[in-house]
Structures are given as C-alpha cells and as structure tokens.
Amino acid sequence: MDINIAVLPGDGIGVEVIAAGMQVLQHVAKKKGHKVNATYADVGWAAIDKHGTALPAVTRDVCRQNKAILFGAVGLPDRDQTLPQAQRPERVALLELRKGLFANLRHVVLPPGLADHCPLKKHLISAGIDIMIIRELTGGLYYGKPQGISGEPGHRSAVDTMAYTEHEIRRILKVGFETARKRRRRLTSVDKANILATSQLWRESAVVMGKDYPDVQLEHMYVDNASMQLLRRPTEFDVIVTENTFGDILSDEASMLCGSIGLVPSACLGEDSSTTPFYEPIHGSAPDIAGKNKANPVGAILTVAMMLRYTFGLQEEAANIEKGCFQVLNEAKILTGDLGGNSGCTDVAAAVIAAI
C-alpha cells in the first residue's frame, strides 16, 4: 500500500517528535511491504518566517493532496504575543486544518510500568487505565457566533456563544457509541444538562440514540462531576463523549493519569473524504526543551499508529507500533525526562523500533 501523507512538523519539539514518528513509520512500512510517500510542508512560525503566514497556500495544497496530515506542534509563546490573536499559529493553522473534522479521539493509557508516575494513589489505578475520550470539534464556544470583545476601554464587554445543532450532537454521539461497542461497551456522555440548553439537547439525543445500542451501557455525567470522577475512579471509564470545550479540558486532565502529556496521541476525523484527517500528539511546542533531544516522542509515535488504523485501515501495523511503545514504557529503562529518565528522544524512538 502507498501511505501518502502530509508531514507538518511545525515549531519547537514538533520537529523532533515527528522525526521520531516518521522513523517508526518507515520501519513498520518496510517490514510490511508498504511505501511511505511523505510530503513535508511548513506550518506555524516555521511558515511565518518563510512565507509571512502560519498556513501558506502551498501547505494547504499539500494537505489537500494527501490522505492524512501528520502534525507536530505550533506556537512559540514569546513570539505569539507579538501578533494579533487572529494571526497566531494556533488559530490560523490548527483551526483551519481541522475545519470540517468533527471527531477528536484522544487515547489515554497508563502502562503498568509507569504506575509510579501517575499522581493518584496505587489503589485507585490498580485495575489499569485505558480511556478513549471523544471530543466534538466543530461546534460549541470555539465557533459559536456572536463572539468577540466590544466597547471602549474600561467599559468593554465580551461574548462567546455555545451553539449546537441536533445533527452535530448526533453524529459525535454515534462515534461514541460505535467506539464503545468495539471496546468494553461502556459510554459516558458528559454534559451540563442542569444548566445549559445545549447540554439538555445533548442529553435528550444521547438517551434516544442509546436505544439503538442496547449492548452499550450508557452513563450520563455532569462535566464538573466527570472532572472529579476521573481522579476518583479512573479505571471505571471506557469511552467518554462530550462537546468541544469540555473535551478539551477533560482530555488534558486525563493525560496526566498516564504520567505525562507527552504520551497521548490524537486523531481528528470527518464524515467523508472532503477534509483530510488530521493526526497530532496533544502536547504543545515546549520551546524550552526544543532542539535538546529531551522531548518525549511516544505521543507522536502512537499518533502514527492511530493514523495507520483510522485512515489506512492497517490494524496489524498499528497494533505492532502500540505494542512496541508499551513494551518500552513497561520496561521503564529508556525514558525521557518527563518520566524521570535520562534518555533522549532519539533513544526512545530507537528502542521502540527495536521492540517492534
């Protein structure tokens, strides 16, 4: 199979972790007789410095012409502050490249070998943590209108609008139910139905759709309670489905259950082939360690596995990468600094390849 992908390393440690992910991808592809056709393009500050914009036309074209986007990270906090918010890399690049992709899947797993790195007491995690968080990506506060700040200094007002249609809610709930059906058949739908009208519509829709999935145990949970239960009983969660802002917050909270945000991959998927699927580790650009071979590449490597599974249908290859990553993590001999180790980004990539 030809694996045709757009590769956008971006800023900071994005360059290093994507290089590691690509090494693993090339290794697995060669073993299984596939050909990787990777077209690299600039994004973020790497693009601003060359093209004057965080997402130049040439990068958009590369993304449209390929089957998937493998993305590193964008944004440099010190430099971001020099631009109006509307021109900053996260808003220009991330929101544009993910436009039309409505389902964000973030997989949080605590390998037994890293149990000491989880901030929770051992009796709370003894049954293991394996949570798939599914976040709606096109609606809610990030896109609702009206939005903005108005008025004179000292008397300004600001507004953000949370808006959802029944169609948007039902399509993400379907992803939640279908995903739960392939895992442990437990789905937690997170909302704020005691306060928000959008959440009331969300819960009503979940109840109705649940009747079509009698084999999936459906649980409803308010978002504030969900944030607490993730710390109190994380092993009981299987699949969580929720709206945009709630999902953004809860998935970052959940990432720390596995010891480091550097371990968590993500996929952004759409309904059809009109928008290119987007894959990225959930961490940021971490400019303080960029170029020092200190970044944890596991999130990026596991992101490659998600890409092979969801876009190219290569289940065995994806499973091999995941197995290699978790073998290295469980042995806990070759770990980056965020996990208490002294190994470099390139060391971890080499260890995963050896495990595969």
Q: How many residues does the chain have?
A: 356
Beta bridge partners of 103: 136, 269
The closest of 321, 344, 340, 322 to 332, measured between CA atoms, is: 340
Give every CB contact of residue 26 below 8 A, 6+ residues apart in sequence.
36
Residue 34, sorted as left (phi over 0), alpha (psi -120 to 50) or beta, turns out to be: beta
Q: Is residue 224 annotated as a catalytic residue, yes or no? A: yes
Query: Burial, 105: exposed, middle or buried (Cβ in 10 Å; 0-12, 13-18, 19+)?
Result: buried
Q: Is 215 a catalytic residue?
A: no
User: Regarding beta strands 2-10 and 35-40, do their DSSP bridges make them parallel or antiparallel, or are they unpaired?
Assistant: parallel
Query: Residue 78 catalytic?
Result: no
Residues 6+ apart with CB under 8 A from 287: 11, 12, 13, 76, 77, 78
Of 191, 192, 279, 294, catalytic: 192
Q: Which residue among 2, 61, 224, 288 is the active-site one?
A: 224
- Note if 248 is an active site residue: yes
Report whether the peptide linkage leading into residue 265 is cis, meaning its omega lies within 30 degrees of zero: no
As to burial, measured by CB atoms within 10 angstroms (0-12 exposed, 13-18 middle, 19+ buried), residue 40 is middle
Catalytic residue among 11, 248, 338, 347: 248
Would you put residue 19 in left (φ > 0), alpha (ψ -120 to 50) or beta?
A: alpha
The two beta strands, 68-73 and 278-281, are: parallel
Q: Examine the residue annotation and report whether 222 is marked as an active-site residue of this protein.
A: no
Q: Which residues contact 98 (CB under 8 A, 6 or more apart)?
A: 104, 137, 268, 278
Phi, psi of 165, deg, nearest 5:
-100, 160
Catalytic residue, candidates 40, 67, 130, 142: 142
Rounded CA-CA distance 53/14 in Å is 18
Residue 118, CA distances (Å) to 115, 253, 307 in order: 5, 12, 27
Residues forming the active site: 142, 192, 224, 248, 252
